[in-house]
């Protein structure tokens, strides 16, 4: 007689892992909303158009953890081919995954011949760079040489 296979259902009373997963997804969605973009272009005739020659400012959230790394990556990739300024002034916590995203973006923009700079780095961001052995140039902090 074949055995019946049982499946765990997420959110089941005995499945606290499912509840934790939902909690983590909810927190990630909240962090994702905190990443902001400030378009530095003028809107003509009420139509929203993106001019690839004008800089856009991406404002990083206060916590650069693994959950925010994915949303930052998506946001930056959607602006590839355009000059970008990343404002890191409100960063309080920095994770290595988010640093990898920012360094990859700096290398990509540099390879594309586009303007990319990280402006207003918080002391936490600068300290974390030093802790992991990275230079300001690798992140293209404003004022560092290309």
CATH of the domain at 129: 3.30.750.24
CB 137 within 8 A of CB 102: no
1 inside domain: no
In order, the DSSP letters of 71-116 are HHHHHHHTTTTS-EEEE-TT--EE-HHHHHHHHHHHHHHHHHT--E
14 inside domain: no
Beta carbons within 10 angstroms of residue 74's beta carbon = 12
In sequence order, the 6+-apart residues with CB closer than 8 A to the CB of 53 are: 82, 83
What is the rounded CA–CA span in Å between residue 30 and residue 8? 27
77 inside domain: yes
Candidates 141, 43, 146, 29; CA nearest to 91 is: 141
6 inside domain: no
60 inside domain: yes
CB 68 within 8 A of CB 32: yes
Q: How many helices (H) and strands (E) does the chain have?
A: 5, 6
Q: What is the pLDDT of residue 27?
A: 53
Beta carbons within 10 angstroms of residue 60's beta carbon = 26
3 inside domain: no
Q: What is the pLDDT of residue 34?
A: 52
103 inside domain: yes
What is the rounded CA–CA span in Å between residue 40 and residue 54? 7
When divided into structural domains, the chain yields a total of 1
> Strands (DSSP E) along the chain, which ranges?
36-39, 56-59, 63-64, 84-87, 93-94, 116-119
Q: What is the pLDDT of residue 55?
A: 82
Give me the domain span that covers residue 85: 52-146
pLDDT tens digits for the chain (146 residues)?
555 444 443 344 444 454 444 444 445 444 444 555 544 333 333 334 555 567 889 999 999 999 899 999 999 999 999 999 999 999 999 999 999 999 999 999 999 999 999 999 999 999 999 999 998 888 888 755 44
115 inside domain: yes
Q: What is the pLDDT of residue 51?
A: 57
């Amino acid at each position: 007689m074949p055995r019946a296979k049982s499946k765990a259902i997420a959110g089941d009373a005995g499945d606290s892992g499912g509840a934790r997963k939902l909690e983590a997804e909810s927190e990630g969605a909240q962090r994702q909303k905190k990443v902001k973009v400030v378009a530095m272009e003028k809107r003509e005739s009420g139509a929203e158009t993106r001019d690839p020659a004008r800089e856009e400012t991406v404002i990083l959230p206060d916590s650069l953890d693994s959950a925010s790394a994915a949303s930052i990556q998506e946001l930056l990739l959607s602006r590839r081919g355009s000059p970008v300024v990343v404002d890191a002034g409100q960063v309080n916590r920095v994770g290595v995954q988010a640093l990898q995203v920012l360094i990859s973006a700096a290398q990509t923009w540099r390879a594309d011949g586009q303007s990319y700079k990280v402006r207003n780095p918080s002391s936490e961001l600068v300290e974390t760079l030093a802790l992991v052995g990275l230079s300001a140039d690798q992140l293209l902090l404003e004022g560092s040489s290309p």
